[in-house]
Chain A
Amino acid sequence: MSVPSATRAAAATPPDTAAPATGRAARTRRRLLGLLALLVLLGAACAASIAVGSRPLGPGTVWEALTDRSLRTEEAVIVWDLRVPRTVLGLMVGAALGVSGALIQGHTRNPLGDPGLLGITAGASFAVVLAIVLLGVGTPAGYVWFAFAGALAGTVAVYVLGSAGRGGPTPVTLALAGSALSALLFALVRAVLVSDSDSLDAFRFWVVGALAGRGADVAWQVAPFIAAGLVLALLNAPALDLLGMGEDVARGLGQRVWPARLVGLGATTLLAGAATAACGPIAFVGLVVPHAVRAFTGPAHRWLVPCAGLLGAVVLLAADVVGRVVARPGELQVGIVLALLGGPAFVALVRRRRTAAGL
C-alpha cells in the first residue's frame, strides 16, 4: 500500500486549487479539532455511562467503587459487574458499527451503504431464529455465535452472488445482491415467526437491539473479532481513497483493487457481524455516523474511518444512557433510542447543508 501516493491523491481531489497551502492547513486544523472534540465527548460518554443508571448512585460513590477494588458493597457490584462491562461493550460495538458503516459506504460508493446491506443483519437474524426454533436457545450470550456465523455466511453469499455476473463485483450489483438476499432471508424468518408465536416472543426482544442483559462474557466473546476488524479497517482506509476515484484510476496509481476490496469487506463483516452478534441489529449508527463525520473530515478515509469509530462509540453510549434515564425504573432499548433521536438529528444535518451532495 503506497501511502505517499494516497496522501497526494486524496489531497488533490477537493477543489482547493486557489490556495493549496492555507487550504490544507485549515482543513488539517479542522480535522484535528474535530478529533479532539470526539475524544472529549467519548470521555464524557464513558463517564456518564458508568455514573448514570436506573439505580441512582452519587458520583462520589461511583468513584469510590471504581478506585477501591477491595470494596464489596452493593454499589461496587453494580458499578463493576453491570455498568463497566456494559460501557466497554457499548464502546466496542459503537466503534465497530461506525467504522464498518464508513467502510461499506466507501466500498459501495453508495450513501445508503449500511452493513445491513451486505446481508449481515439478515444472516444474523436468520441464524438467531434457527437457534431459537431448532435448539431452544434463549439468552443473548447463547445467540452470539449463531448470529456471528449467520452474519459471516450472509456476507460471503452476498459477495459471491454480487460478483458472479460478468462485470464482477460493482457497487450496484453488490447492493442489489445484498438487498435481494436480505429480503429472501427475512422472508424465511417471517415464515417461521408468523406461525410460531413462542419464537416471535423471543425474537422480538433480540431484534430491537440492546446493551442491557449482556455481561462481560458477551464482551469477551466478541472483543477479538472487533479488534481484528478495527486493525484491518485502518489498514484499508488509504486504499479506499484511491478506490474512490474509480477502479481504473486506482489501478493506474498502483493500487491493487481486489486485495483492497477483500480486506475492506472482511473488516466490515468482522465488525458489523460481531456488533450484531453482541447487541442485535442496530441499524442507525453505521448508516448515519459516517455522514456526520464527513462534515468535518471531508471525504478522506484516513480521517473518516477512525473518526467514524469514535463518533459511533460516543453515539451508542449516549443513546444507552438516555435509554436508562427516560423510562425509569425500566429501560428503553438502545436501538430504539438511537433511531428516535438519531432520525431527527440526521434530518437536521441533511437540511442544514445547502446541497445534499456535500454529504
Chain B
Amino acid sequence: MTATADAVARTTPPDPGGRPRGRAVTVRVGPVSARFRWRSVVVPLVAAVAVVLLGAASLGRGDYPIALGDVLRTLVGAGTEGQAFVVLELRAPRTAVGALVGLALGLAGALFQTFARNPLASPDVLGITQGASVGAVAAIVLGGGTSTGALLGGLGVPLAALLGALGVGALLFVLAWRSGIDGYRLVLIGIALWSVAQALTDWLLTRAEIHDAASAYVWITGSLNARTWEQAAPLALSLLVLVPLALAAGRVLGVLQFGDDTARGLGVRLARAQGAVVVVAVLLVATAVAAAGPIAFVALVVPQVAVRLAGGSRPPLLASGLLGAALVVGADLLTRTVLPQALPVGILTAALGAPYLLWLLVRGRRTTA
C-alpha cells in the first residue's frame, strides 16, 4: 500500500544531525517520554481555537446581532430576556448541534478512510448516510399515507433517519463480516448498499407530492435550521461515549495499517479490533445524521484536509474531528450572515470544503492517502 511506503520514506532518511525529519519534538517527564511531530499537535490546537471562535461568532451573529460582551453576559445569566432567548434557546443549540455533528462526521470519516486504506471510503460512499436519507424521506413522503407510512411518520424524521442509518450500518457489518472485516470488502459491500439506498430515495422523491419532495430535499441536503436542545442533548450524550471509543480505536488502526498478518503478529486480536472500529464509526455517523441530516462532504473531505495539514501517513483522528466541527459551524455561520438567502448548511460545507481540497491538491506534492 502506498500509505505505508510513504511513511517509510518519511521516517528512514535521518538528517545529518541524526534527528528524524519533520521537526519532531521529544517530551520527557521523569521516566516517561513521548515523541511527536510539531504539526500533529499544532493543527488540532488551531482547529480547537477556530471552533471556539466560530462558535462565539455563531452565538452573536444572525438576523438579530448581539455584541460579544452581551453574549458573554447572557451566557452567565445576566442578559436581557430577549437576548437570553435568542442566544440560549435558538443559537446555542444550533451551534452545539453543528459542532458535534462536524466532530462526529470528521472522526467517522477518518476512521473509515484509515480502516479501508482508501481516501474515498467515507460514510457517504458506504451508504450509511443514504440509509438515513431513505428513512427520513420515507417518513416525510409516506407519513400519513399507507399504514407503514403512518408508522414511520409517527416516529418522526430524526428517529426514522437514525433507524435507516443503523439499518444500513448493521447490514454493512453483517454482510462484510467473515471472521473479521476486510477493508476492501467493506468498501465493495458499502457501495452496493449505497446504490440501493440512493435508488430508493430517488424513487420515493419521484412518488411524492412536490411540496413533500421539496422539504425532503432540504432534509437530505443537511440542515441545522430549527435545531433545539432536543437534538443537541442526546447527540452530546452519545458522543461523550463514542468519541473516547473512537480515539481508542485509533491506536489499533495504526497497527492495522501494516496489514492483517503483521497486525496479528503484533498481538492485535484482529476480528475484534476490526469489528470495534466499524461499529464505532457507524454509530458516530448515525447519531450525527439523525440530528442534522446527511451534511455533505464533511466526512470525505475533512480527513483528507487534516492529513495534508498535519502530515503523517493517515488521517489524524482528533484533528479530523475538530476541523469537521470548525467547518460545519463556520458554514452555518456563513449561511446565516453573508448569504442573501438562508441555504441548508450541507450546501455550504461542500462549497467551502471542495475548493479547499482542490487547492491543496493543486499545490501539494502529496500523492497518497
The answer to whether B211 touches A194, judged by C-beta atoms less than 8 angstroms apart, is no
Q: Is A69 an interface residue (CB 8 A)?
A: no
Q: Is A200 an interface residue (CB 8 A)?
A: yes
A338 to B192, CA, bound (A): 11
**A contact face: mostly helix, strand, loop, or mixed:** helix
Q: Which of A112, A194, A356 contacts B191 (CB 8 A)?
A: A112
> In chain B, what residue has the closest Cβ to A201?
B210
A-B pairs, 5 with minimum CB distance: A339-B199, A187-B350, A343-B196, A184-B354, A356-B185
A-B contact pairs, 5 of them (CB 8 A): A161-B362, A190-B344, A190-B347, A339-B196, A343-B192
Q: Is A255 an interface residue (CB 8 A)?
A: no
> In chain B, what residue has the closest Cβ to A335?
B199
The answer to whether B367 touches A167, judged by C-beta atoms less than 8 angstroms apart, is yes
Q: Is A166 an interface residue (CB 8 A)?
A: yes
A356 to B190, CA, bound (A): 13
Q: Which of B178, B202, B218 contacts A351 (CB 8 A)?
A: B178
Q: Is B368 an interface residue (CB 8 A)?
A: yes
The answer to whether B368 touches A172, judged by C-beta atoms less than 8 angstroms apart, is yes
Closest approach, in angstroms, between the C-beta of A89 and any C-beta of chain B? Answer: 20
The answer to whether B354 touches A204, judged by C-beta atoms less than 8 angstroms apart, is no
B residues apposed to A, CB below 8 Å: 2, 118-121, 125, 175, 178, 182, 184-185, 187-189, 191-193, 195-196, 198-200, 202-203, 205-206, 210-211, 213-214, 217-218, 221, 296-297, 300-301, 304, 341, 343-344, 346-348, 350-351, 353-355, 357-358, 361-369
Q: Which of A175, A183, A187 contacts B119 (CB 8 A)?
A: A175
For the complex with contacts A170-B367, A191-B351, 11 further pairs of A-B residues with Cβ separation under 8 Å are A111-B184, A165-B367, A180-B301, A181-B354, A184-B355, A186-B350, A187-B296, A197-B214, A284-B195, A350-B192, A356-B182
Task: Contacts A167-B367, A283-B195, A350-B189 given; indicate if A177 touches B361 (C-beta within 8 A).
Answer: yes
The answer to whether A197 touches B184, judged by C-beta atoms less than 8 angstroms apart, is no
The answer to whether B120 touches A183, judged by C-beta atoms less than 8 angstroms apart, is no
The answer to whether B120 touches A342, judged by C-beta atoms less than 8 angstroms apart, is no
Q: Is A73 an interface residue (CB 8 A)?
A: no
The answer to whether A172 touches B369, judged by C-beta atoms less than 8 angstroms apart, is yes
The answer to whether B350 touches A183, judged by C-beta atoms less than 8 angstroms apart, is yes
A110 to B362, CA, bound (A): 21
A191: which B residues are within 8 A, CB to CB? 343, 347, 351
Q: Is A3 an interface residue (CB 8 A)?
A: no
A244 to B119, CA, bound (A): 20
The answer to whether A350 touches B185, judged by C-beta atoms less than 8 angstroms apart, is yes
> In chain B, what residue has the closest Cβ to A198?
B210
A residues apposed to B, CB below 8 Å: 110-112, 117, 161-162, 164-167, 170, 172-173, 175-177, 179-181, 183-184, 186-188, 190-191, 193-195, 197, 200-201, 204-205, 207-208, 283-284, 287-288, 291, 332-333, 335-336, 338-340, 342-344, 346-347, 350-351, 355-357, 359
A162 to B361, CA, bound (A): 7
> In chain B, what residue has the closest Cβ to A175?
B120
The answer to whether A336 touches B202, judged by C-beta atoms less than 8 angstroms apart, is yes
The answer to whether B367 touches A173, judged by C-beta atoms less than 8 angstroms apart, is yes
The answer to whether B362 touches A164, judged by C-beta atoms less than 8 angstroms apart, is yes
The answer to whether B367 touches A187, judged by C-beta atoms less than 8 angstroms apart, is no
A195 to B195, CA, bound (A): 26
The answer to whether B218 touches A194, judged by C-beta atoms less than 8 angstroms apart, is yes
Q: Which of B206, B218, B344, B361 contacts A176 (CB 8 A)?
A: B361
The answer to whether A340 touches B196, judged by C-beta atoms less than 8 angstroms apart, is yes
A355 to B178, CA, bound (A): 10
> In chain A, what residue has the closest Cβ to B118?
A112
The answer to whether B350 touches A204, judged by C-beta atoms less than 8 angstroms apart, is no
A335 to B198, CA, bound (A): 10
A195: which B residues are within 8 A, CB to CB? 341, 343
A177 to B354, CA, bound (A): 9
A194 to B216, CA, bound (A): 10
A339 to B199, CA, bound (A): 6
A356: which B residues are within 8 A, CB to CB? 182, 184-185, 188
The answer to whether B358 touches A172, judged by C-beta atoms less than 8 angstroms apart, is no
The answer to whether B217 touches A172, judged by C-beta atoms less than 8 angstroms apart, is no
A347: which B residues are within 8 A, CB to CB? 175, 189, 192-193
A110: which B residues are within 8 A, CB to CB? 118, 120
> In chain B, what residue has the closest Cβ to A169?
B367
The answer to whether A164 touches B367, judged by C-beta atoms less than 8 angstroms apart, is no
The answer to whether A204 touches B213, judged by C-beta atoms less than 8 angstroms apart, is yes
The answer to whether A183 touches B297, judged by C-beta atoms less than 8 angstroms apart, is yes
A205: which B residues are within 8 A, CB to CB? 206
The answer to whether B213 touches A200, judged by C-beta atoms less than 8 angstroms apart, is yes
A268 to B262, CA, bound (A): 39
Closest approach, in angstroms, between the C-beta of B126 and any C-beta of chain A? Answer: 10
The answer to whether B217 touches A194, judged by C-beta atoms less than 8 angstroms apart, is yes
Closest approach, in angstroms, between the C-beta of A352 and any C-beta of chain B? Answer: 11
Closest approach, in angstroms, between the C-beta of B278 and any C-beta of chain A? Answer: 15
The answer to whether B362 touches A200, judged by C-beta atoms less than 8 angstroms apart, is no
> In chain A, what residue has the closest Cβ to B344?
A194
Q: Which of A167, A208, A287, A357 contacts B206 (CB 8 A)?
A: A208
A175: which B residues are within 8 A, CB to CB? 119-120
The answer to whether B218 touches A183, judged by C-beta atoms less than 8 angstroms apart, is no
The answer to whether B193 touches A200, judged by C-beta atoms less than 8 angstroms apart, is no
Q: Which of A112, A201, A207, A291 contacts B202 (CB 8 A)?
A: A207
Closest approach, in angstroms, between the C-beta of A125 and any C-beta of chain B? Answer: 12
Closest approach, in angstroms, between the C-beta of A341 and any C-beta of chain B? Answer: 9
A172 to B191, CA, bound (A): 18
The answer to whether A344 touches B192, judged by C-beta atoms less than 8 angstroms apart, is yes
Task: Contacts A183-B301, A186-B296 given; indicate if A165 touches B118 (C-beta within 8 A).
Answer: no
